[in-house]
Amino acid sequence: MAFSNLEDSAGDVMSEINMVPLIDIMLVLLIIFIITVPAINETIKVNLPEAASQEKEEEPDKPVNLSIDLQGVFYIDKTALTDDQLKARLAEEAKKEPAPALYINGDKDVNYGRIINAMDLARQAGLSKIGFVTDPNGEAGTVNPSEDKPAGAAAGG
């Protein structure tokens, strides 16, 4: 019979890694992969014909950028417009399919009534997607920002 001395083994550090939890985790992962791989491969394979010429995809409609300066003057494409001219121009834009969105670039100090007026004219013209352009950096903008520089985030609807 063999007897061990408890006093001698109490100070020894366990130098082996317990492999049982590692093996349990690996078996669970193996089971998960065995179940999911057949579900991934169940797709219908179709050999699509190739076309000699393809139609050019239409560009998505560009939104209408309406700018309102500090004096309350409306601008589209750097052209100053009166209320009647703006309504006619927005009605033209609303006839397009699909109707484009209207982004309002209003000066932060402009009379709020002018912005409401622009929104009313847009609704009367048939534009329902209306958003406001803000500057995320808090910097002052221009009447019509350039196309290459992002104008900011549009919000609203």
Cβ proximity of 144 and 67 under 8 Å: yes
22 pLDDT higher than 50: yes
More confident residue, 133 or 92: 92
Cβ proximity of 131 and 157 under 8 Å: yes
Tell which residue, 89, 154, 101, has the closest CA to residue 128: 101
Least confident of 14-23, 35-44, 68-77, 87-96: 35-44
More confident residue, 126 or 24: 24
Per-position DSSP letters for 91-121, written without gaps between them = HHHHTSSSPPPEEEEE-TTS-HHHHHHHHHH
Domains of the chain, start order: 63-131 (3.30.420.270)
CA distances from 63 to 10, 94, 152 (A): 78, 11, 14
The per-residue pLDDT for 146 is 44
pLDDT digits (tens, 9 = 90+) for 114-138: 889 989 988 998 888 888 887 776 5
Phi, psi of 148 (to 5 degrees): -80, -20
For residues 45-62, give the mean pLDDT: 63
Tell which residue, 101, 102, 87, 104, has the closest CA to residue 141: 104
The per-residue pLDDT for 138 is 59
Indicate the angle between helix axes 112-125 and 83-94, nearest 10 degrees: 40
For residues 86-91, give the mean pLDDT: 90
The per-residue pLDDT for 12 is 72
| 3-state class (DSSP) for residue 66 | strand
67 pLDDT higher than 60: yes
